[in-house]
Chain A
Amino acid sequence: MKEFTCIICPRGCRLTVDDNMNVTGNTCPRGKQYAISELTNPVRTITSSVRVNNRDDLLVSVKTSGSIPKGKIFEVMDEINKLSVSAPTRIGDIVKKDILGLGVDILITKNID
């Protein structure tokens, strides 16, 4: 049996998973999914920022388009830190496709004119 805190939303439910992968303590279906993923293949979404070439002293925020394996977080961060963009930027613009072959893209999350 394992206990942990659900991170899917700010509610932060206390989840319990028994040896047969039965989940209790969740208030929504996503909690159940999270609990099982956490025990089999824990994943996280990463948010960070990248340099804006044509602006002084300014970064633009980015995120992974989906979850990546927890163990790959720092490798993905290294890749993100090599990226840069030019303004204007639009939410949803792809900065890097299929980062490290993980099947997720790095997307812009902020409009800069």
Chain B
Amino acid sequence: MRTVDLLIIGGGSAGMAAAIQAKKEGIDDILIVERDEHLGGILNQCIHNGFGLTEFKEELTGPEYLSRFVKQVEELKIPYMLNSMVISLTKDKIVTISNKEEGVLEYKARAIIMATGCYERSAGAIQIPGDRCSGIITAGTAQKYLNIHGYLCGKRIVILGSGDIGLIMARRLTLEGAKVICVSELMPYSNGLNRNIAQCLNDYNIPLYLSRSVSKVIGKNRLEKVILTAVDDKMQFIPGTDMEIECDTLILSVGLIPYISLLDYIDCPTSSTKGAKVNEHMETMIDGIFSCGNCLHVHDVVDFVTDEGRLAGHGAAMYLKDQLQKGDAINVLPKDGIGYVVPQQIDRNNQEDVTFKFRVRRPVKDMNLIIESNGQLIAKIFKPVLIPSEMVMVKLSKDKLPLLGEEVSLRLEER
């Protein structure tokens, strides 16, 4: 069995940032394991621009953004293994990898960083009623077909779900000559960024229907029609509101889920993010196993994925240098109006500032974010606008940490 100090599962934005950070902090024996034939992960197919504004103060396309990190990985001589899939791992950090050249191989790692990204909810996952015809695909699959291989998935297209990938694809498919008839969203608000509604839908006069979803798909072999039906506030279809739309393709942009099936091998506790439960160093509840990026919680901006990757890389480097002296855990709890908070725990011995990342449950205005512990107010921050599609970050200075009791909570309160 081979050994390695730090094994990073996934060579996308999170994994590369984690590797670079750990290397800069003196960890030399690193291996990135990537299942695709390139580093960079999903950014390889995100050819639109808008990446890097926080990280590089300029606007880059996905491939440009990822290339800057590939360059650093190469310059720092960080080893990586492509076309290689991690098929299992243990709590003792034995990682089994499969690839075409070497077959099945095992590594014993001293620390592991999970950076496996996320996957799309599929037609099966949302149980669309109707025929089982072809022509129903996820937005990410349509994106890969079009941007990497050059195949347009259809000519008359309906998009279900207004997440960013769906909006980006609405524009992209339109530019390539397809007719995007509409985008339909189950919720009463869009889950995409406002700028994407402006530049991807409004620019091309593509209507966005809110509180409306697909109640039936119809097609013998290929999709022929979808029925879009309005829903009430309990998400039930309202009779008599059907819109029948002729189309050959239905694209689903109905949510992303952290890809954590490897965690099943190690009984790793998860949180309401559907990713692993972590502390402020992005360490899971399993000693020496860290998690970052979209497999921890789904991000809306890659720059923040990179940042979180660095945090995990830093945490793993400290762990490997025996600098993480663990004490009691302070639990971090999302309360009124808050969907989730990362991290879910802070170590009592932590010596650094902590950034809370959270999402609200529904769009709200003029709110105070209250951070409190044992009934004592730790921080109160005014937030004029909060929407579920935008992750919010709030820094808690290390000076405030001694004020915390056994738990700290975040909640919203009307101003």
**Count of CB-CB pairs between chains A and B under 8 Å:** 82
A63 engages B61 (CB within 8 Å): yes
B149 engages A5 (CB within 8 Å): no
A18 to B147, CA, bound (A): 40
A9 engages B67 (CB within 8 Å): no
The 11 listed contacts between A and B (C-beta, < 8 Å) are A7-B195, A7-B198, A11-B195, A47-B47, A47-B48, A48-B175, A51-B150, A77-B175, A109-B47, A109-B61, A109-B63
In the complex, A10 has a CB within 8 A of chain B: yes
In the complex, A111 has a CB within 8 A of chain B: yes
A5 engages B47 (CB within 8 Å): no
Question: Number of B interface residues, CB 8 Å?
Answer: 30
B198 engages A9 (CB within 8 Å): no
**Which residues from chain A contact B199 at a C-beta distance below 8 Å?**
7, 44
Given contacts A10-B50, A58-B148, A58-B149, contact A91 B63 (CB under 8 A): yes
B194 interface neighbour in A12, A44, A51, A109, Cβ under 8 Å: A12
Chain B contact residues, CB within 8 Å of chain A: 44, 47-50, 53, 59, 61-64, 67, 70, 146-150, 175-176, 193-199, 203, 300-301
Q: How far is the CB of B365 from chain A (nearest CB, A)?
A: 12
**Which residues from chain A contact B47 at a C-beta distance below 8 Å?**
47-49, 61, 109-110
**Which residues from chain A contact B196 at a C-beta distance below 8 Å?**
12
In the complex, A70 has a CB within 8 A of chain B: yes
**Which residues from chain B contact A5 at a C-beta distance below 8 Å?**
194-195, 197-198
A59 engages B147 (CB within 8 Å): yes
Interface string of A50-62 (1 = CB under 8 A from B): 0100000111010
> Which residue among B44, B53, B175, B196 has the maximum number of chain A CB atoms within 10 Å of its CB?
B175
- The interface size bin for chain A is 20 to 34
Given contacts A5-B197, A7-B199, A77-B175, contact A63 B49 (CB under 8 A): yes
**Which residues from chain A contact B70 at a C-beta distance below 8 Å?**
111
Q: How far is the CB of A77 from chain B (nearest CB, A)?
A: 5
A109 engages B64 (CB within 8 Å): yes
Given contacts A47-B61, A109-B63, contact A59 B50 (CB under 8 A): no
A9 to B390, CA, bound (A): 13
A10 engages B67 (CB within 8 Å): no
In the complex, A35 has a CB within 8 A of chain B: no
A48 to B176, CA, bound (A): 9
A110 interface neighbour in B67, B149, B175, Cβ under 8 Å: B67
**Which residues from chain B contact A51 at a C-beta distance below 8 Å?**
150
Given contacts A48-B47, A110-B67, contact A9 B195 (CB under 8 A): yes
B175 engages A73 (CB within 8 Å): yes
B67 engages A44 (CB within 8 Å): no
Given contacts A58-B148, A59-B148, A61-B47, contact A9 B53 (CB under 8 A): yes
In the complex, A46 has a CB within 8 A of chain B: yes
A89 to B50, CA, bound (A): 22
A20 to B190, CA, bound (A): 32
A77 to B171, CA, bound (A): 12
7 nearest A-B pairs in the assembled complex, by CB-CB distance: A12-B194, A61-B47, A110-B63, A12-B195, A5-B198, A7-B195, A7-B199
